[in-house]
Amino acid sequence: MKDGFIIKSAENSNISKEDLDLINAFTRKRLKGGEVYVFSVVLCDNDIDRDNEKFTPQALEKLSELFVGSTGILNHDMKSENQTARIFSAAVEKVAGRENKIGEPYYRVVAKAYMPRLKKNEDFIMSVDSGIIKEVSVGCAVENVTCSICGKDIKKVGCEHRKGKHYKKSGSVDLCYAILDNPTDAYEWSFVAVPAQKEAGVIKEYIPRLNGGDKNMEDIIKELSSGKEISLNKRQSQDLYNIIEDLEKKAKVGETYQKDLKSEVFKLSAVLEPGMANVMKGVIDKLSIEELKSFRDSYKEKYAKVLPAKPQFGEIKKNVENVNNTQFKI
Q: Is the pLDDT of residue 201 over 50?
A: no
Q: How far apart are CA 79 and CA 66, in angstroms?
A: 21
Residues 176 and 147: beta-carbon distance below 8 Å: yes
Q: Are strands 178-191 and 71-74 parallel, antiparallel or unpaired?
A: parallel
- pLDDT at residue 318, as a whole number: 53
Q: Where are the domains of the chain?
A: 4-142+185-209, 240-306
Beta partners for 180? 55, 145
Q: How far apart are CA 299 and CA 271, in angstroms?
A: 10
- pLDDT at residue 209, as a whole number: 37
Residues 75 and 48: beta-carbon distance below 8 Å: no
Q: pLDDT (tens digit, 9 = 90+) per residue, 54-100?
A: 999 999 999 999 999 988 876 555 555 567 789 999 999 998 899 99
Residues 136 and 108: beta-carbon distance below 8 Å: no
Residues 85 and 5: beta-carbon distance below 8 Å: no
Return the minimum-mean-pLDDT range out of 185-199, 223-237, 295-309: 185-199
Q: How far apart are CA 5 and CA 136, in angstroms?
A: 5
Q: What is the CA radius of gyration of the chain?
A: 36
Q: Is the pLDDT of residue 148 over 70?
A: yes
Q: How far apart are CA 182 and CA 81, in angstroms?
A: 31
Q: What are phi and psi of 16, to 5 degrees?
A: -75, 160
Residue type, 216: N
Q: What is the pTM of this model?
A: 0.56
Average pLDDT over residues 6-27: 76
> DSSP readout, 217-255?
HHHHHHHHHTT------HHHHHHHHHHHHHHHHHHHHHH
**Contacts of 190 by beta carbon, 8 Å cutoff, 6+ apart:** 72, 73, 74, 75, 76, 77, 136, 137, 138, 139
- Maximum pairwise Cα distance, the chain: 135
Q: Is the pLDDT of residue 185 over 80?
A: yes
Residues 180 and 56: beta-carbon distance below 8 Å: yes
Q: How far apart are CA 261 and CA 284, in angstroms?
A: 9
**Contacts of 137 by beta carbon, 8 Å cutoff, 6+ apart:** 2, 3, 4, 76, 189, 190, 192, 195, 200, 201, 202, 203
Residues 143, 149, 153: CA angle, nearest 5 degrees: 25
Q: What is the chain's length?
A: 330
